[in-house]
Every structure is written in structure tokens, then in C-alpha cells.
Structure 1
Amino acid sequence: MEIHEILESVKEGKISTNHAKKLLSLYSIEEVEGFVKIDFNRRKRRGIPEVIFAETKELDEIKKITKRTLEKTNSVIVSRIKKSDYPKILAFAKRLKVKIKTGKNSSSLLLYNKPIKFQGGKVGIMTAGTSDIGVAEEARLMCEAMNCKCITSYDVGVAGIQRVFPILKEMVNEEVDCIIVAAGMEGALATLVSTLVDIPIIGIPTSVGYGYGEKGIAALASMLQSCSLGLSVVNIDNGIAAGGIAANIANRAIKKNNLK
């Protein structure tokens, strides 16, 4: 429906104001200088904030999109910033006087105006090795942008399998709604975790490994072929997607619980 049709339908009593609000939210797209169309209402419609994939964008483009987004919404994630652009984006964010969350070993940033209230669900995040931390931190930033509390534990892979049990016990006791597992090499940690708990698991295969099956191919194939049910898998190194899915699951769970 076009906007005038929506308004006429409300006037004639054919649709409710709440239904009209949902339909109108689909039109909240703004073009910036002819090179980008920003979906400002994505957060309201899907619960997911705007994410700028910076790796393939020019510095000036990133700045313009960031500034316009933060004028209309509370937060934005700038992901995969080029090494040469990272300090410049940080300095730019400080000039905008917005708050900044960084990720360890990650070139992604969460920028926001008002303090983020962790009123959503809980997400557990773990990595097999230290090389997987950057990807896991991208997932954490995404979850926190979506108001989720995160419980993290890194370097708990199957090479020292005893390390995983204390943190898994903590996550179960904390009643996390979803667990993200980032793992390279053969990606075995995701399967292991999914066999031990009745919690949705999201595996992130990371581009860590040697020779045959390197760059995350072996980890991806292993996770996709897992015989353990309850494990879903995102693309190689895609912490942003894993965080968005996990936070949606967690926030949906907390919303259902609050309605009881």
C-alpha cells in the first residue's frame, strides 16, 4: 500500500492505527547524497540496529552514514573498519560526542548516544582459541547494541577440553537464552557445546587453520555436518550475523517470559 492509501484506510476504518503504524514503518528510508539508503526504522521493525560494513567503503562515506544514522537513531555498529581508517573513525566519533564501545582484537565499533540498558535477554559467548576472539567480540557488540547482557569466556577449546565445563556451568546457572561458539581449525567446540545443553547454539566458523581446509573451510564444513541437533551455523567469521540472531532469540525469550 502507498502512504496515501494507508491514511485513507485508517480514515475509513478499514485498518487500525496500530496496523497503519506497522505499514508506515516500512517507508522510513532516507537517501544520503545519492549513494546510500539508510533504513532508520530497522530497529523498530526487526530489533536490529543499523550496521555499516566499512571494509569496502571510503572514509568519507562511513562518516556521512554514521553521522546521519546517529541523528535519527540511538546506535550504530561500524564493522570491519580498515586499519588505516580505525583511528580516524574513533576521532570522528569523539568529535560527535557519542559513546564508544570497542571490541578486543576487533576493528568494529558500537557507537551510541544514550546509555544502553541491558533489559533484553542473556547471551553466552565462547571461543575455542585466542585467534577467534575478534570475531566473538563483533558478536558481543551486536548483542549489546540489542540490549542483551553477555557472558563471555575465551580460549576454552577442545585442545584442553576441561576448560569448557566451568564456564558452561556458569552460563547454564545464569540461564542464558542462547550461546555463540566461535571456533577455527576443525570447529569441534560448537558440536561439543551443543551436545551438553538444552540451549540454542550458534556456531561461527573462523578463518583459523593450516593448509588443507584453511581459512575456515574445515570449520564450516564440520559445523554444517554436525550430528548434534540444536546447532545452527553462520558464515565464516560472521560475528555480526551470529550476534543478531542470538540477541533476537534472547530478546524474544525474555519478552515471552515477561508476558506470563
Structure 2
Amino acid sequence: METHEILEKVKNGQISVEEAEGYFKRQPFEELEYAKLDMHRKIRSGFAEVIFCSGKADEHLLNIFGRLYERDGEVFGTRATKEQYEMIKEHFPQTQYDPISRIVKIEKEKESKIGCIAVCTAGTADIPVAEEAAQTAEYFGSHVERIYDVGVAGIHRLLAKVEQIQKANCVVAVAGMEGALASVIGGLVDKPVIAVPTSVGYGANMNGLSALLTMINSCSNGIAVVNIDNGYGAGYIATQINRMGVKNNG
């Protein structure tokens, strides 16, 4: 249960003060020897712990997934393989998997999603990273507008969507190759732009390094850059900005 939910139940007489006190006295992390699950992260930061699935042993991943689900009633994992998903699904049949973003999750139904984040890609090949960003933001309660394949090779495609992009509280610009999309969008909006370089491109792209350097050296203002292919990081930061935008507009 979340802190607010605990306090509401005390207020309504559904649980005793002693029961609530016992909840808050619990260790802020759960020791699993191979992992220390940060059970109080949502209380501190507003975001529950997320699992980076890549490289984890099956037993470790399954136990971590189960413990976080048991705690919050939902759980979110990034960079999961199809094999990892199938292994988890055997124990938790309600588990969902998206092979494009490689996100594995069990998600509570959310009545509504707040604000607006625009997630844009330069090309179709950038969509896996963009979907990681978009689905992360949606999981954490943000409304997301997807605007894909609007790279600078056909600038008219982007200009046709400018009005929609300008309405967002935050823009995520995902691009490989030379990574120019973020700079162009940065010159068109008055909101923060989170640039995400991808490893999409030919040899001199150097697995995303060329896009990363372009974005870091952008002459447009208001651009922040995350690591290569880090859609999750972009979606997380975008959600923080979106929450602030909703709060300030409210």
C-alpha cells in the first residue's frame, strides 16, 4: 500500500494506528542477498523501483519481479527478452510484454493520465527506444502523444505536427544518424526537450556516438541529453517535468 492509502485507511478506521505504525517501521529496503529492493523509493521520489532485466539470472529476476509486484500490485521491467517474459508469465499469467520496447510489466488500471508529453522520432528505426520512453511515461501516469518518423530529411513532416508538439509540457526527441531532430524541435517549442541519441545508423554513427555529440553540442536552448538508447531515462525525466507542468497549471 502507498503512504496516502495507509493514512486514508487509518482515518476511515479500516486499520489501526498500530498497524499503520508497523508498516512505516518496516526496513526501507528488502534484503534478498543478491539484491536490495528499495521499497521506500516511491515515498521519497514518487516513482517505484523499476527492474533492468538484461543480464539478470532467471531466479533473481523472477524473485525481484514477484516481490515488487507483491508490494505495489504492479511492476515494470525494461530490456527484457522474450524468454524472460515467458518465464515470468508462467508464474504471473497477467504479465504483459511488448517485443518492440522490450518492456515487461503488470500494470494497475489508471483512471486517467495527466498532462501531455510528446515523444517524437526521426525515423521508424528509432521507435523501439521511443516506445521505451513513451511506455515508461504512461506507466508513471503521463498522457503521451506519439509523433513518429518526422526526421529532418523531410522537414515538412515535422512542421505539419508543430502545433501538436507545442502543446506538450515536455518533448522527447529520439534520433539516430546525425541526431539533428532535437536541435530543430528545440528551436520550435518553449518547453524542455529531452534528446535521446540512438545507435541507429551506418559505420560513422559509431553506435550512436555521432548523434550523442550532435545533441550535446546543439545550439538550440532548452535541450537536455540522456545516454544512447536510454528511452527509460527520458521517459522518467519527462514524467517529472510533466508533473510539474500539471501542478503549475493547476
TM-score (norm 1): 0.81
Task: For residue 203 of structure 2, give the secondary structure of its aligned residue in structure 1.
Answer: coil
Per-residue deviation at 1:110?
3.1
Q: Does 2:209 match 1:217?
A: yes
Q: Does 2:205 match 1:206?
A: no
The aligned counterpart of 1:17 is none
Alignment match of 2:160 (pick from 160, 166, 179): 166
Per-residue deviation at 1:159?
1.2
Distance change (3 Å), C-alpha of 1:198 and 1:238? same
- Find the aligned partners of 1:84 and 1:145 in 2 and give their Cα distance: 22
The aligned counterpart of 2:185 is 193
Show CA shifts across 1:153-208 (max 9, x none): 11111111111122231232xx3110101100000001100001101100000001
Say which is worse superposed, 241-250 or 116-125, in terms of deviation.
116-125
Superposition map of 1:1-260 within 5 A: 28-32=28-32, 34-94=33-93, 97=94, 100=96, 102-103=97-98, 105-112=100-107, 114-172=108-166, 175-258=167-250
Gaps of 5+ in 1: 1-20
Does the CA-based 8 Å contact 1:204-1:238 persist in structure 2?
yes
Structure 1 segments, 4+ long, off by >4 Å, are 24-27
Per-residue deviation at 1:88?
2.7
User: What letter corresponds to residue 48 of structure 2 in structure 1?
Assistant: P
- Find the aligned partners of 1:91 and 1:128 in 2 and give their Cα distance: 37
- Find the aligned partners of 1:48 and 1:194 in 2 and give their Cα distance: 27
TM-score (norm 2): 0.84
RMSD: 2.0
Per-residue deviation at 1:106?
1.8
- Find the aligned partners of 1:26 and 1:228 in 2 and give their Cα distance: 47
Per-residue deviation at 1:90?
4.0
Task: For residue 213 of structure 1, give the secondary structure of its aligned residue in structure 2.
Answer: helix
- Find the aligned partners of 1:26 and 1:219 in 2 and give their Cα distance: 45
User: What letter corresponds to residue 217 of structure 1 in structure 2?
Assistant: L
Task: For residue 114 of structure 2, give the secondary structure of its aligned residue in structure 1.
Answer: coil
The alignment of Structure 1 onto Structure 2 pairs a total of residues equal to 228
Task: For residue 50 of structure 1, give the secondary structure of its aligned residue in structure 2.
Answer: coil
- Percent pairwise identity: 38
Per-residue deviation at 1:84?
3.2
Show CA shifts across 1:60-103 (max 9, x none): 21111111101111432211113432333344431xx45x3x44
User: What letter corresponds to residue 205 of structure 1 in structure 2?
Assistant: P
The aligned counterpart of 1:15 is none
